[in-house]
Amino acid sequence: MSTPDQNAAPGTAPVRVVVIEDELTITRAITDRLTAEGWEVTTAPDGPSGVRAVTEVRPDVVVLDVMLPGFDGLEVCRRIQADEPVPVLMLTARDDETDMLVGLGVGADDYMTKPFSMRELVARLKALLRRMRRVGTPAPSEAEKQDALEFGDLVIDRAGRRVMRAGAPAHLTPTEFDLLLCLANAPGTVLTREQLLADVWDWVDATGTRTVDSHVKALRRKLGSDLVRTVHGVGYALEIPEDPEAGAAAGGTGPDAAGGPSDLSSMPTPNLPDDDSCPLPRTAPRLPTAGSRSGWTSGRWTGSAPSRSSSGSWWGPASPSPRCSPR
């Protein structure tokens, strides 16, 4: 038996939760577990009644199934987020990344795939609430007030929780902003999925990594595919984007812009060996055939076999050749 939420401050109102789920067994299980945590739970069995429940209750967090009668969970999420943003954890019966990305795109903050552990559900809901409390903290530090993080054409306003890319605002969910900020605090550094789950989701004992992967893909869709680098088997790192205005101010990307010589003819010519001192032919040698005179005896090749370079082109005989040395 779970005890009431130990994270709640004494004297504070209990957490209000709206559970929108059409499967009665799952609804009862979630309700029993969250009630044991000391939370107030309101349930709705379909899309239209779910929207009404959120409007009436004004919950702290919503548990929302994707497949619902009336209209689906994605439409429910669009409507409740358009009215007043609220943390949403979506439940899906399909482990389909497209559904997850669409859900994140319409305003969901996290998702879980059925079947799921009630213990993990409670932990994720508590993590969502902690993040929302951090978002609502009204007193940012002086450094946050003065310093916005700028990486090329990417600007992250930590105090205002706003993001601009190439001068255009990007509309991120609270979780997407926290993930971006976590990566931006260590640009170029690879952060493991476990680190990101602990720092962004406050979920230390997570067993899956699809949550991080799906949120990274949502960031790429909104901010550009070049922003977050994947290190396979490890995690993700923020790539510092180039600022096109800085490149234009420098005069382009050619030799002149880099401060190099404008006339290529003025560049020094390297000391290259002559043909006589280098065994590498200008053109690939013709391979011996059975009809050639040298190297073949009774239909068998007895000479040195040609060798390949690492690029796949033929370099000539495998026998020792004079060393190429500049004069």
Residue 35: pLDDT over 90: yes
pLDDT at 135: 58
Helix 73-83 vs helix 47-57: crossing angle, to nearest 10 = 20
| Cα 180 from Cα 169, distance rounded (Å) | 14
Q: Where are the alpha helices (DSSP H) in the chain?
A: 24-36, 47-57, 73-83, 97-105, 118-135, 142-146, 174-184, 193-200, 210-223, 244-249
Task: State pLDDT tens for residues 54-108.
Answer: 999 999 999 999 999 999 998 999 899 887 888 899 888 766 666 666 767 677 8
The rounded mean pLDDT for the chain is 74
- Return the higher-pLDDT residue of 193 and 5: 193
* Residue 288 preceded by cis peptide, ω within 30: no
- Return the higher-pLDDT residue of 214 and 245: 214
Helix 97-105 vs helix 210-223: crossing angle, to nearest 10 = 60
β-pair partners for 314 = 308
Q: In the chain, what are the domains?
A: 16-135 (3.40.50.2300), 142-238 (1.10.10.10)
Task: State pLDDT tens for residues 151-196.
Answer: 888 999 988 888 999 888 888 877 888 899 999 999 999 999 888 8
Under DSSP, is residue 127 helix (H, G, I), strand (E, B) or coil?
Answer: helix
Residue 304: pLDDT over 90: no
Size of the chain, expressed as the number of residues it contains:
327
Instruction: Find the largest Cα–Cα distance for the chain.
Output: 101
Q: Please indicate, yes or no, whether the overall pTM of this predicted structure exceeds 0.85.
A: no
| Cα 110 from Cα 125, distance rounded (Å) | 9
Q: Which of 99, 53, 40 is nearest to 80 (CA)?
A: 53
Torsion of CA 18, 132, 168, 257, to 10 degrees: -140
From its phi and psi, is residue 14 left (phi > 0), alpha (psi between -120 and 50) or beta? Answer: beta
The values of phi and psi at residue 297, to 5°, are -135, 120
| Cα 25 from Cα 65, distance rounded (Å) | 13
